[in-house]
Amino acid sequence: MNGHAHAGRPTLSIRRTLTFQADAARILDAWCDPAVQRRIVEGAAEPAGRGEDPDLWRIRTPLGPSPRVWLRQDARTGNCVRHHAEGDGGFLLSSELCALPARGRPGTEVTLEVAFRIEGFLTGLLDRQADPAPLLLAGQALRRLREWVEAGQILPTTHDPTTASDRVR
């Protein structure tokens, strides 16, 4: 769903929810683990800090520049974690991941809310080249997190039929 354009405020909001078969603490620990974060966003972003700044990431774009983004954890309270990112090209992102007991069924209901704004050249680029990508990436991030928490691994995103039969789930 699109938000309203305000200077300094995100213009696109996304909300995705999945049920996990794990407790909330384990889910939040995995979401905050830098090694798991790298696997979750693989293909969309990569660490750019090379050790000296673990908060620095580079966003992959299909064409043009790859903006640098600084991702910081704002708060972890109760069953929620908030992150904030700022970067090149007016990139601004906030996210909140909440893990609560599922209603009427076993498991934990995990909701990811992401809001972001991009100005300048990147706005046009993302509008034309990656229009569905932010919506798809939010769902993909939750599915990858669930794979990690429930199975201890994140399956490759490639759809190579020769390896699909070799995978153990």
- SS3 per-residue string spanning 47-110: ECCCCCCCCEEEECCCCCCCCEEEEEEEEEECCEEEEEEEEHHHEEEEEEEEEEECCCCCCEEE
CA distance 59 to 133: 12
Please report, in tens digits, the pLDDT of each residue of the chain (169 residues total). Answer: 334 334 444 467 889 999 999 999 999 999 998 888 888 888 888 888 666 677 888 887 766 677 788 888 899 999 999 999 888 877 788 899 999 999 999 999 999 998 877 665 455 555 444 444 566 678 889 999 999 999 887 665 543 333 333 333 3
pLDDT at 56: 86
pLDDT at 96: 95
Contact 118, 133 (CB under 8 A): no
Contact 28, 96 (CB under 8 A): no
pLDDT at 110: 96
pLDDT at 51: 65
Is the entire prediction scored with pTM above 0.85? no
Pairing mode of beta strands 91-101, 45-47: unpaired
Give the DSSP letter of residue 6.
Answer: B
